[in-house]
Amino acid sequence: MKLVAAVAALQGANAFSVGSAAKPSYAVKSAPQLMMAELAQSPSSGWGIKDITPDGSLTQRVEGMTRKTWKFNDITKDTVQVAVTSEGRPVNADVQLWIGPDWTPMTLQAYSEDGKARPIQTIVGTRNKAATIEIRNVGEYEFPFNAASNYATGAMATLPKDMPAATEGERVDGGAIRSYPLDPATEALEVVLKTDGKQLNAKVELLNAPNNAKQTYEIFTNNGLLNPLCLCFNTPDAGNTLRVVNLASVEFPCNVHLTEM
């Protein structure tokens, strides 16, 4: 009896041994690895606040009815990125380009219903001059957001020129409206509005369902070639339409270029 019991115990121990072929093996990714994998798979990778400042050093919290600024003094560069996010609350921001003591050649009013799902993501031209980017939170005190700005690098630095060269644009005359229904599978949309050097005064809206604006941008600049409107929309929901309104008079047409991802 003792011998039988010993054999049974030995078999039971072997059944649960570490080297057993029946034990499955799992490769567990750490949190940083998961984050990098998610960014690599994101269709809007390169636009986000983490791409602008990976270590977070350039991120500033902007309370309601306050403003923050970022200075850029490298005249060999002419393109900076701007991103604004929230914890899921609305974002209502004004972005201005300052050159010199009293010249504001570009202003951009931006709104997002949800700054986490649909962050503000844009590119601003500095015209190879020492410049300052101001981001003002024009929302209420209860709606702070995080913002960051930095010089664009790599493909992002040339995107405002490369995208119009690679895509066929559509002319939108002053006072005209254009609507572009998006494919339901689209996860992000890149948009460039530019002129031949004349002023650019336009509104771009991302609609989900009739006249339900999830995100809105309104730009005015005296030169739509040096300061084109360059945006990236996140589209987590299906059923989106992009609406472009040229707010200028008929003498100031603009061209619209789109890339769905």
Q: What would the pLDDT profile of 159-212 be if each residue is shown by its tens digit?
A: 999 999 999 999 999 999 999 999 999 999 999 999 999 999 999 999 998 889
Q: Nearest-CA neighbor of 228 among 105, 138, 75, 135? A: 105
**Is the predicted pLDDT of residue 32 greater than 60, yes or no?**
no
In a domain, 5, yes or no: no
When pLDDT is averaged across residues 215-234 and rounded to a whole number, the result is: 98
Beta strands in 187-239 (DSSP E): 188-194, 200-208, 213-221, 229-234
Mean pLDDT of the chain: 88
Longest CA–CA separation in the chain, Å: 104
* More confident position, 117 or 10: 117
Report pLDDT for 150.
98
pLDDT band, residue 42 (cuts 50/70/90): low
Question: What mean pLDDT is predicted for residues 250-254?
Answer: 97
Q: What is the pLDDT of residue 45?
A: 85
Over 90: is that where the pLDDT of 19 sits? no
Band (44; pLDDT cuts 50, 70, 90): confident
- Give me the number of domains the chain comprises: 1
% of the chain at pLDDT higher than 70: 84
Do 254 and 236 touch, CB atoms closer than 8 A? no
**How confident is residue 111, by pLDDT bands cut at 50, 70 and 90?**
very high
pLDDT given at position 102: 93
Look up the domain containing 252 and give its range.
46-260
The per-residue pLDDT for range 146-157, each reduced to its tens digit, is 999 999 999 999
State how far the Cα of 121 lies from the Cα of 20, in Å rounded to an integer: 52
Residue 72 lies in a domain: yes
Query: Does the pLDDT at position 4 exceed 80?
Result: no
b/e 32-59 (16+ beta carbons within 10 angstroms → b): eeeeeeeeeebbbebbbbbbbbeeeeeb
Are residues 217 and 245 in contact, defined by beta-carbon separation less than 8 angstroms? no
Residue range 217-240: mean pLDDT, rounded? 97
| Least confident stretch, 7-11, 44-48, 72-76 | 7-11
Query: At residue 38, does pLDDT exceed 50?
Result: no
Instruction: Calculate what percentage of the chain has a pLDDT beyond 90.
Output: 81
Residue 94 reports pLDDT greater than 60? yes
∠ at Cα 122 (118, 125), nearest 5°? 175
Higher pLDDT residue, 228 or 24? 228
